[in-house]
Amino acid sequence: MEKLKVFLVEDEFVVREGIKNNIKWQEHGYDFCGEAGDGELAFSMIQKLKPDIVITDIRMPFMDGLVLSKLIKKEMPWIEIIILTGYAEFEYAKEAIRVGVAEYLTKPINSEELLKEVDGLADKIMEKRKERELRERYKKEMEENLLKEKKELFQYLVTGAKSLVELLEMADKLHINLSSMWHNIVLIKMRFRNQTRDEYSNTLLEIEEKIGAIADESKVIYFDRNLEGKALLFKADSKEELEMIQNAHLHQLKSIWEEYENIYYFGGIGVPVNRLRELPSSFEAANHAFAHRYLVQGCHILNSTEIVQRAYLDKSEFSLGNVNPKQIDNGRMREFLKTGDKEEVVYFIEEFFNALDTNAMQSHMFRQYITMDSYFCVADFVEGLQFARGEIESPDQNASTLQTKENAIAYIVRIMTKALELRESAVSNQYGDVVDEVKKYIEDNYADDQISLNLLASHVNFSPNHLSTVFSQYTGQTFTRYLTDYRMNKAKELLRCTGKRSSEISRDVGYKDSHYFSYLFKKTQDMTPTQYRNEGRAEGGDQ
């Protein structure tokens, strides 16, 4: 175990030498790392050496012990301080307590007494360090849950389903600062072509690290959208500053992506809003621009405002001669049916028709052609999923389908939405088996402390992120929460039904570290394992 470091500050040479040499610091498990004759000299040394315990005289030239203690506690609050003084005035003691000094000892003090005080502080330091390590481990293990909560926050932000107070409370819990005068949403998606799974994972990790290095949460917050990429929420105090921050960050992102071959990226920029409650309109505009990834070739980050302006300028009388056959190629629709989401159908269809001659859908003949073509495209896709064509509404089932542009577009939205619901149903049957396999693995191996999301992902041949998404969708819990709850329930059974010690139960349910097991049990059950066992005995005695 690493030895705790002790630093001594004392202006009297004889006293300093006595403390340094009369205590066998190494034998008692300490590293005497340095000494100084006054506070001013000591502070720079303490900044560099970062000791665990500082022993300082209170009365010294240049800088006294109380001033030194204030500086230490402000910059390095974890350092424990013992003040030595020949003055027993109560005011000094009160001031030392206010500063945060651990012990206030009057001189003269012998080596045994001082070592006893240092040992007491060492126990507190080790206890705090262990507690900090347990908190960090818990935080790391629960990162998957935090990601899920962050995704939920984003959904509430862009749907308006929560009040402003509720949104701010959720954000505060996640340590996210939403406050700003202006906001805008940008949707981005990145994928690789022609890479093995290992190559993909390594490259993705490398890119994520580079993006993390440029991300400043005071200006932009990243939200994961699972398979649909990420959403970026930009913040600034003015519209001009927002645009400047946004453009600079997107330029940096493109520079990172373009360092790699075979990478595809696409982005859609929303409209700036100056109220959090207006974020749904920013998100909707970003979605319209984002839907163009099915309609254009190559890598782009498109601005929704520019797309709207271009559509307005392109208005003209309809003529079949103005229609580009490539624009009505149903290959784009097929691609969307394979990879799009139900929530995107409206945006995709609107942008699909906006890309055509503006007045094309006013022509009955053109409406008839595009509606039938869409029907056959969707029907073919559905049959490919092993569903009957009858699952899709035929255009001749409703006489009003072709009467107006609005009716025709609404019909195409309906049949595409239905197709994606069938796709989800087909995928659900496939993924249901995967989730059951994961649950069975946990049931059979929960006592193995090596179980992890990465291990299970490899077991079912999924990427960790994909498995996390699928598992959460099916069970309503993250993988980590499910595994923790399963182990805690098993622990509760053993606590109530056996006389095993907590340390034995810890190993039985998959935790080598009994301290972490106790910490986790208290965190999730609001009581210690011993309290849970005693509560059970009390209940049994009352019956």
pLDDT tens digits along 11-33:
888 888 999 999 999 999 999 99
36 and 69 both lie in a single domain: yes
Q: Taking 60 as the threshold, does the pLDDT of residue 381 lie above it? A: yes
191 and 296 both lie in a single domain: yes
Q: Taking 60 as the threshold, does the pLDDT of residue 309 lie above it? A: no
- Rounded Cα gap, residues 444 and 467, in angstroms: 19
pLDDT of residue 311: 47
442 and 456 both lie in a single domain: no
Residue 38 has φ and ψ, to the nearest 5°, of -155, 165
In the listed set 249, 279, 313, which residue is the last one of a domain according to the structure? 313
Cα 248 to the center of its chain, rounded Å: 23
Q: Taking 80 as the threshold, does the pLDDT of residue 404 lie above it? A: yes
264 and 353 both lie in a single domain: no
11 and 133 both lie in a single domain: yes
- Give the DSSP H/E element, type plus range, for residue 424: helix 405-445
425 and 477 both lie in a single domain: no
Which residue type does 311 have? A
pLDDT of residue 314: 47
More confident residue, 88 or 482: 482
In the listed set 89, 113, 141, which residue is the last one of a domain according to the structure? 141
More confident residue, 484 or 148: 484
pLDDT of residue 318: 46
459 and 515 both lie in a single domain: yes
pLDDT of residue 491: 95
103 and 152 both lie in a single domain: no
158 and 307 both lie in a single domain: yes
CATH number for the domain including 61?
Answer: 3.40.50.2300
Task: Tell me which long-range contacts 173-177 makes (C-beta under 8 A, separation of at least 24).
Answer: 173/149, 174/146, 174/149, 174/150, 176/150, 176/217, 176/221, 177/217, 177/218
The backbone region for 262, taken as left when phi is positive above 0, alpha when psi lies in -120 to 50, beta otherwise, is left
Q: Is the pTM of the predicted complex or chain greater than 0.85?
A: no
Q: Taking 50 as the threshold, does the pLDDT of residue 313 lie above it? A: no
274 and 390 both lie in a single domain: no
pLDDT of residue 308: 58
Residue 398 has φ and ψ, to the nearest 5°, of -135, 115
Q: Taking 60 as the threshold, does the pLDDT of residue 111 lie above it? A: yes
In the listed set 260, 292, 313, which residue is the last one of a domain according to the structure? 313
Q: Taking 50 as the threshold, does the pLDDT of residue 383 lie above it? A: yes
Mean pLDDT value of segment 246-261: 92
Mean pLDDT value of segment 472-499: 91
Residues in the chain, total: 543
CATH number for the domain including 256?
Answer: 3.30.70.270
| Structural domain total, the chain | 4
Q: Taking 60 as the threshold, does the pLDDT of residue 115 lie above it? A: yes
pLDDT of residue 326: 56
- Contact status, residue 20 vs residue 141, Cβ threshold 8 Å: no
Domain containing 35 equals 4-141
pLDDT of residue 278: 94
DSSP code at position 273: B
CATH number for the domain including 463?
Answer: 1.10.10.60
At 457, list the tokens.
């992902």
DSSP code at position 261: T
pLDDT of residue 225: 84
- Contact status, residue 278 vs residue 218, Cβ threshold 8 Å: no
Mean pLDDT value of segment 117-137: 88
Mean pLDDT of the chain: 85
223 and 203 both lie in a single domain: yes
Residue with tokens 């045994």, as numbered in its chain: 112
156 and 305 both lie in a single domain: yes
Q: Taking 50 as the threshold, does the pLDDT of residue 312 lie above it? A: no
pLDDT of residue 459: 86
Highest mean pLDDT among 350-359, 430-439, 451-460, 480-489: 480-489
